[in-house]
Amino acid sequence: MADLYDPRNVAVIINGQEVVGFADGTFIRGERATERYPEPHVGAKGEVTWVRNGNNTGTITITLKHNSASNAFLTRLFKEQDQPGTEITISVQDRNFEGDVSISGSDCRIANVPPWERGAEVGSVEWVIRVADYDAAFEGATQA
């Protein structure tokens, strides 16, 4: 039986608002900043010591069309994020699967506004979001 994947079933929610107007191709990417378990230390007699990295930061990159309505929303958040008490949360859910297939963070900052350019076609812009408490879950990765 063939699998079915529908990109319309991937939702990106920032501060409770669903992001719209994604560019063609890969439109969302998330990754931890560092490996949880880097190379082990091996002693002279072969004893192995693992060191767990406590760095839970990560980066989520969203690629939007240059005319996406969400660009104005993200620009506003970028300007507001330096004000005391401002929080940015992100949740990305792949609803193509049953269970928890997602990435998220509750302490985020938008790295910068994307470069501005226009051409003969609709271009794309990348929003880089730094996440202090990056979490990825692939617990229920079975086809819906």
The count of structural domains within the chain is: 1
Are 27 and 7 in contact by the 8 Å Cβ rule? The answer is: yes
Three-state SS annotation for 85-100: CCCCCEEEEECCEECC
Quick check: is 53 in a domain?
Answer: yes
Q: Which domain holds residue 89?
A: 7-143
Quick check: is 117 in a domain?
Answer: yes
Quick check: is 84 in a domain?
Answer: yes
What pLDDT digit, counting tens, does each position of 79-118 carry? 999 999 999 999 999 988 777 679 999 999 999 999 998 9
User: Helical H runs in the chain?
Assistant: 70-80
What pLDDT digit, counting tens, does each position of 18-57 carry? 999 999 999 999 999 999 999 999 999 999 999 999 999 9
How far is Cα 72 from Cα 10, in angstroms, rounded to an integer?
21
**CATH number for the domain that contains residue 134:** 2.30.110
Quick check: is 2 in a domain?
Answer: no
Quick check: is 101 in a domain?
Answer: yes
